[in-house]
Structure 1
Amino acid sequence: MKVRVHVMLKDGVLDPQGEAVKHALGTLGFAGVQGVRQGKVIELDLAATDRAAAEAEVKAMCEKLLANTVIEKYTVELMGETA
């Protein structure tokens, strides 16, 4: 099963990379950008075929390794069977 995890800083947490991107976009002439938040996307191919079990397993991965849950939030997207 293919799974996509989106990890972003929680609201209120300073995002220096996002600010750097915002500044760079302004320098390039994109003055209308009022804010940027940068995150990461992690794609996993799991052997699991049961959707509920796969989701539970990925949430455990996020809590233990993939996301720093003190400052980051995450969402899990089950994409279905791998080709």
Structure 2
Amino acid sequence: MRVVVTVMPKPGVLDPQGRAVGHALSNLGFAGVGEVRIGKVVVLDLAETDADAARAIGEDMARRLLANTVIESYRVTVEA
């Protein structure tokens, strides 16, 4: 099964990379862009065939390694 972990800075956490991209977009003439947040997506192909078990494994990976849970939140989705 494919597990997708999306990691984003928590609300209120400074995101200098997002701010820089937002500023650059403005300089390029893209008006109306509000706050920009930069995160990461981790795609994992697991040998697990049960969707609930794959999600649990993805959650454990995210909590233990893929996300810094002090400043980042994460979402785990499972694709067949």
Q: After superposition, where does 1:63-82 map in structure 2 within 5 Å?
A: 63-80=63-80
Distance 1:67 1:34 in 2: 25
Partner of 1:51: 51
Q: Secondary structure in 2 aligned to 1:37?
A: coil
1:22 matched to 2:22? The reply is: yes
Distance 2:44 2:19 in 1: 29
- Could you tell me which amino acid in structure 1 is paired with residue 73 of structure 2? K
| CA deviation string 1:4-60 (max 9, x = no partner) | 111000000000000000000011001211210110000000000011111111111
Identity of aligned residues (%): 61
Which runs of 4 or more aligned residues in structure 1 lie more than 6 Å from their structure 2 counterparts after TM superposition? none
TM-score, normalization by structure 2: 0.97
Partner of 2:38: 38
Structure 1, unpaired ranges of 5+: none
TM-score, normalization by structure 1: 0.93
RMSD after superposition: 0.6
Distance 2:11 2:23 in 1: 20
Structure 2, unpaired ranges of 5+: none
